[in-house]
């Protein structure tokens, strides 16, 4: 086994430990947690066996990576199942676990960026949203509303930051890229003319954002169409009555450590890690949802 393969497998074991620790601090049913941990144990054993082999085929490495991704989707499914019909209490939002190792998106997005972006920046948005929600709840029991505007703005900024970043992590995966399939591809072709035309306009939209912001592929509930929209910061110049499907973070903290001022290069390389299967699942879920068309 070459050094790069061994290093990658070691990073998967480190990631597995981090996810297991985060699962231990969450509120999941004992039955689902036990079932998931048994699957995780088998997966880790596969990695350990591979690490002790002299030669490991690249296809086997890729299979291990895909099984790890599926483990995270299973975990997310358990959470979604248990939280169906429930709500996140005021001030109780949590940082979602990263669905791949910190170096899983290299060489396109470095481990250093992912550590800072996920653990520091996203955590700050979660903390800011929780604080804003608690402050707004406190204001409901007082006649003094002087701070209302401030905390509403804090809720908008940090809440949008948290929700967009949560989409962003799952919109990417190691060995991603390619083209979407199924109903999503049909809708992209219908609404943009072709996948190539969609990709070109989305790329140019991301490059056009002034300062920090996002590029988004959204589902318009009022038109029943896909559309491209940009936002400055997380919440400025956005579009209402839409559901984000694919989002690209073009804040400097998303790329500067690796790409410096070359935002365009970062945007072009990002297409190599797009997780179209995640976008397809979202689209299949929300496609039937539309409002009255006007």
My answer on whether 139 and 189 are in the same domain is no
118: phi then psi, degrees, rounded to nearest 5:
-75, -55
Q: 132: domain range? A: 111-170
Say if residue 208 is in the same domain as residue 254: yes
Looking at the structure, do residues 228 and 135 belong to the same domain, yes or no? no
Spatial contact of 244 and 216, defined as CB atoms under 8 Å apart:
yes
Q: pTM for this structure? A: 0.80
> DSSP of 181-196, one letter per residue?
-HHHHHHHHHHHSSHH
- Cα separation of 270 and 275, whole Å? 10
Is the domain of 15 the same as that of 76?
yes
Ranges 96-105, 177-186, 193-202, 217-226: which has the least confidence = 96-105
Inter-residue long-range contacts of 128-135, CB under 8 Å, 24+ positions, other chains counted: 128/154, 128/157, 128/158, 128/161, 129/93, 129/155, 129/158, 129/159, 129/161, 129/162, 130/91, 130/92, 130/93, 131/91, 131/158, 132/158, 132/159, 133/90, 133/91, 133/93, 134/90, 134/91
Q: Considering the domain boundaries, does residue 17 fall inside one? A: yes
Burial class of residue 31, CB neighbours in 10 A (0-12, 13-18, 19+): exposed
CA distance 262 to 17: 34
Q: Is residue 141 part of a domain?
A: yes
Phi, psi of 216 (to 5 degrees): -135, 140
Instruction: Identify whether residues 130 and 200 lie together within a single domain.
Output: no
Domain boundary among 43, 67, 83: 83
Do 204 and 140 have their domain in common?
A: no
Number of domains in the chain: 3
User: Is 135 part of any domain?
Assistant: yes
pLDDT at 250: 98
| Three-class secondary structure of residue 131 per DSSP | helix
Rounded Cα distance, 272 and 126, in Å: 28
* pLDDT tens column, 245-287: 999 999 999 999 999 999 999 999 999 999 999 999 999 999 9
Q: Is residue 97 part of a domain?
A: no
Question: 132 with 72, same domain?
Answer: no
Do 203 and 257 reside in the same domain of the chain?
yes
Instruction: Tell whether 127 and 54 lie within a shared domain.
Output: no
Residue 84 has pLDDT above 70, yes or no: no
Same domain, 194 and 163: no
129 located within any domain: yes
pLDDT at 61 over 70: yes
Residue spans of alpha helices (H) in the chain: 3-24, 30-51, 58-83, 111-114, 123-139, 148-170, 182-192, 195-208, 256-259, 263-270, 276-286
Q: Give 83's pLDDT tier (boundaries 50, 70, 90).
A: low
Pair 236, 209: CB distance under 8 Å: no
Residues 237 and 262 occupy one common structural domain? yes
Q: Classify residue 233: in a domain, yes or no.
A: yes
Do 189 and 126 sit in the same domain of this protein? no
In a domain, 7, yes or no: yes
pLDDT averaged over every residue in the chain: 93
């Amino acid at each position: 086994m070459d050094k790069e393969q061994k290093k990658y497998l070691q990073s998967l074991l480190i990631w597995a430990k981090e996810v297991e620790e985060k699962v231990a601090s969450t509120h999941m049913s004992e039955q689902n947690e036990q079932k998931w941990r048994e699957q995780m144990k088998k997966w880790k054993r596969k990695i350990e066996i591979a690490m002790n082999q002299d030669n490991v085929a690249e296809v086997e490495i890729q299979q291990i990576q895909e099984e790890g991704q599926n483990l995270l989707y299973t975990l997310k499914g358990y959470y979604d199942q248990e939280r169906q019909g429930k709500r996140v209490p005021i001030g109780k939002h949590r940082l979602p676990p990263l669905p791949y190792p910190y170096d899983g998106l290299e060489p396109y997005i470095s481990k250093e960026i992912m550590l800072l972006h996920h653990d520091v920046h996203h955590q700050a948005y979660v903390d800011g949203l929780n604080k804003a929600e608690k402050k707004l709840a406190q204001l409901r029991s007082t006649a003094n509303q002087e701070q209302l505007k401030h905390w509403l703005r804090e809720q908008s900024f940090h809440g949008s930051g948290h929700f967009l970043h949560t989409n962003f992590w799952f919109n990417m995966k190691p060995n991603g890229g390619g083209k979407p399939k199924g109903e999503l591809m049909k809708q992209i072709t219908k609404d943009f003319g072709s996948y190539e035309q969609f990709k070109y306009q989305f790329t140019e939209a991301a490059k056009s954002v002034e300062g920090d912001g996002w590029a988004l592929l959204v589902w318009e509930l009022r038109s029943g169409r896909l559309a491209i929209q940009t936002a400055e910061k997380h919440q400025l110049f956005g579009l209402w009555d839409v559901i984000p499907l694919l989002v690209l973070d073009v804040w400097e903290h998303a790329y500067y450590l690796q790409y410096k001022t070359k935002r365009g290069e970062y945007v072009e390389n990002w297409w190599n890690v797009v997780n179209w299967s995640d976008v397809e699942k979202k689209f299949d879920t929300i496609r039937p949802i539309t409002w009255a068309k006007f």
